[in-house]
Structure 1
Amino acid sequence: MAYFPFYIDIENKNILVVGGGTVALRKIEKLSPFKPSITVVSPKICEEILKFNVKVVEREFDDNDLNGAFCVISATDNEQVNSHIFELCKEKNILVNTVDDKEKCGFIFPALVQKNSVTVGITTSGKSPIYAKYLKEQFLNMLENTNSDTAETLWQYREYIKENTADEELRKKVFSALMSMCLCGESIDTDVVNKIIKENS
């Protein structure tokens, strides 16, 4: 099965994590930089989870915990509980990730690279996590060796370029030239952008 890589804004979205061990911790670590509202339900919750900005409910899972959930991470060490949560989510059309059980996942976690305003998600559709890890390291190395301001600079002048270039082909040339300068570490300002526009017109 191939997985389509949706990119969704999860800031302030209600995410339920059932389970309070190291497996749940790893998922919370991945989610936290994107600022969702995370609730953790488990009778026992490891200290590392408590360091994150999460709501903690120290008890067994209750079916009503799914109310209002945008998505669910089922990370208990009880297969029956995980299966029960999966079936409930399926009935309620709630996306669920059942940790270490691909057949009970509505979505999966990719290997993530997040650096310099760039987020890359890598998956081998569950076929080879070690290869996904290798690719993650390659992307991270590539991003570490490029100008950290490239994405921000291109974003800063995006509207200006669109307003001052009517032709789509010209616009592409200007963005391409600007990106090349960014990758070489050259300074960019409005005068430079105007010069690029003039040279490519």
Structure 2
Amino acid sequence: MPAQAYAGKECVCQLRRGICDQSCVQGMLDTPFYIACLRLVGRRCVVVGGGSVGLEKAEGLLACGGEVTLIAPEAEPELQEYAREGSIRWAQRGYAGPEDLEGVFMVIAATDDTDVNIAVYGDAERRAMLVNVVDVPPLCNFILPAIVRTGPLAIAISTAGASPALAKRMKREIEGQFGEPYARLAVLLNEVRGWAKGTLPTYQDRKEFFEGIVGGEPDPVALLREGDEQAVRELIARAQTAHALQVSRA
């Protein structure tokens, strides 16, 4: 439901009370968001709304290990299949109120019912929960960026809710520029994190070790684009030898 649909409603934005004139939408652009990555494994997450957007949000939560409960009288066929196979729990009814949020870590409202979306937001806010009402930034205490994900590499693109369409365009462009070589390099560097922590005594030593590999010559990303992973492993091994020698001489 677009933010404009809330014009004239009682404003439930934390920053303002009264009749919504949409100025809070503009005000959000002046306040930076605190960017974080959440670990959802084993955490209860609720999606209210069983349409295509609810499907998208449920799949995103499932991909990160969240325990998903769908609340919706009807649901897309894919959501029904997830429920049949036990991947999600489906409460086949409308949103019932605060009791639906007991023990829940995060809730996403993706319905076409303005009053339901406002109720979800208000109930979640009173419980200091994470809540996102899709496409209504004033009714969110967190927003969902567009994500480019390849292996362990995840790049988030956000316009602070101003233009999801622009974020999607940027996602397409970034997918073309960054991808498998960067993800593979992340894996290779992770393989020597234990060695670095055990061998290089200070944060600065470890920083110089990793930055020397990533920003040095030959370029490890270029080597991986050429399919030469062995050359990258040899590059890392040489850096290990050089930094270990520096430590032994200190």
Query: TM-score range with shorter-chain normalisation?
Result: 0.7 to 0.9
What is the RMSD of the two structures over their aligned residues, measured on CA atoms? 2.3
* TM-score, normalised with respect to structure 2: 0.72
Pair 1:56-2:90 in alignment? yes
Q: What is the deviation of 1:125? A: 0.9
What secondary structure sits across from 2:70 in the alignment? strand
Listed one character per residue, the Cα deviations across residues 150-171 of structure 1 (whole Å, up to 9, x for unaligned) are: 1111111012123223355443
Distance 1:51 1:141 in 2: 33
Q: What is the deviation of 1:108? A: 1.1
Distance 2:187 2:76 in 1: 37
CA separation of 1:188/1:70 partners in 2, compared to 1, >3 Å: closer, same or farther?
Answer: same
Task: Tell me what 1:143 maps to.
Answer: 178
Q: What runs of 5+ residues in structure 2 fail to find an aligned partner?
A: 1-27, 225-230
Q: What runs of 5+ residues in structure 1 fail to find an aligned partner?
A: none
Moved more, 14-23 or 140-149: 140-149
Distance 1:24 1:139 in 2: 25
Task: Tell me what 1:112 maps to.
Answer: 147
Instruction: State the percentage of identical aligned residues.
Output: 26
From the CA coordinates, give the structure whose radius of gyration is larger. Answer: 2
Task: Tell me what 1:43 maps to.
Answer: 73
Paired letter, 2:207: K
Paired letter, 1:29: E
Task: Tell me what 2:133 maps to.
Answer: 98
Distance 1:182 1:116 in 2: 17
Moved more, 173-182 or 1-10: 173-182
Aligned 1:50-199 pairs, distance under 5 A: 50-52=80-82, 53-63=87-97, 64-144=99-179, 146-166=181-201, 168-179=203-214, 180=216, 182-183=220-221, 184-185=223-224, 186-188=231-233, 191-197=237-243
CA separation of 1:199/1:138 partners in 2, compared to 1, >3 Å: closer, same or farther?
Answer: farther
What secondary structure sits across from 2:41 in the alignment? coil
Q: What is the deviation of 1:22? A: 0.8
Contact 1:113-1:119 at 8 Å conserved across structures: yes
* TM-score, normalised with respect to structure 1: 0.88
Task: Tell me what 2:4 maps to.
Answer: none
CA separation of 1:193/1:74 partners in 2, compared to 1, >3 Å: closer, same or farther?
Answer: same
Q: What is the deviation of 1:40? A: 0.2
Listed one character per residue, the Cα deviations across residues 74-106 of structure 1 (whole Å, up to 9, x for unaligned) are: 112211111111111121211211112221111
CA separation of 1:35/1:118 partners in 2, compared to 1, >3 Å: closer, same or farther?
Answer: same
CA separation of 1:167/1:83 partners in 2, compared to 1, >3 Å: closer, same or farther?
Answer: closer
